Amino acid sequence: MDSGIIGVLGTVLGVLIGGPVTYYYAKILIQTTHNNAIDLMHRQEFNKAASDLRASFAPHLAYLKSIHGSIQIKEEIRGSLYDHFIKTHCAELEKFRFFVKSKSIDAYNKACEEYETVLHPGLMASWGTQEPSEFIIDKIETLLNFTK
């Protein structure tokens, strides 16, 4: 056979095999890149929501830790914490709820209810033997564990 015909046949055969193979691997690479971008975006949104939730609790955690050992906490800050809960914490807790895994949503809901019960002026939570500031800190830290 003529060497020109062999070259043309080799080129056509290479295109017939290489084209679909390249298309297949390019499609896989594009899908993988897309999925990685979506995962990164979800992680960034989770981190933002977790950061906002932690930031909303930071001032009260600092205050509670500074008055550790004070008996006055029962009524002194309960009202202000509840007001702040309604204004800030409640909104941040609801925003973060979308990022809680479905297997953990019941525990998250329970932690939110327990935190609200501790602060609600009309409901008296049982402090037990725990100091009031420590009790509230524990409830807040239970909520913040979901941000990890």
**How far apart are the C-alpha atoms of 121 and 74, rounded to whole Å?**
10
Residue 74 has pLDDT above 60, yes or no: no
Give DSSP secondary structure letters for the chain: --HHHHHHHHHHHHHHHHHHHHHHHHHHHHHHHHHHHHHHHHHHHHHHHHHHHHHHHHHHHHHHHHTTT-TTHHHHTHHHHHHHIIIIIHHHHHHHHTTS-GGGHHHHHHHHHHHHHHH-TTS----TTS-HHHHHHHHHHHHHGGG-
Res 117: pLDDT: 77
**How far apart are the C-alpha atoms of 48 and 54, rounded to whole Å?**
10
Question: Residue 73: which domain range?
Answer: 3-147
Residue 68 has pLDDT above 70, yes or no: no
Res 5: pLDDT: 79
* pLDDT, average across residues 84-112: 85
Number of domains in the chain: 1
Residue 4 has pLDDT above 80, yes or no: no
pLDDT tens column, 12-64: 878 888 888 888 888 888 898 888 898 899 889 989 999 998 998 888 888 77
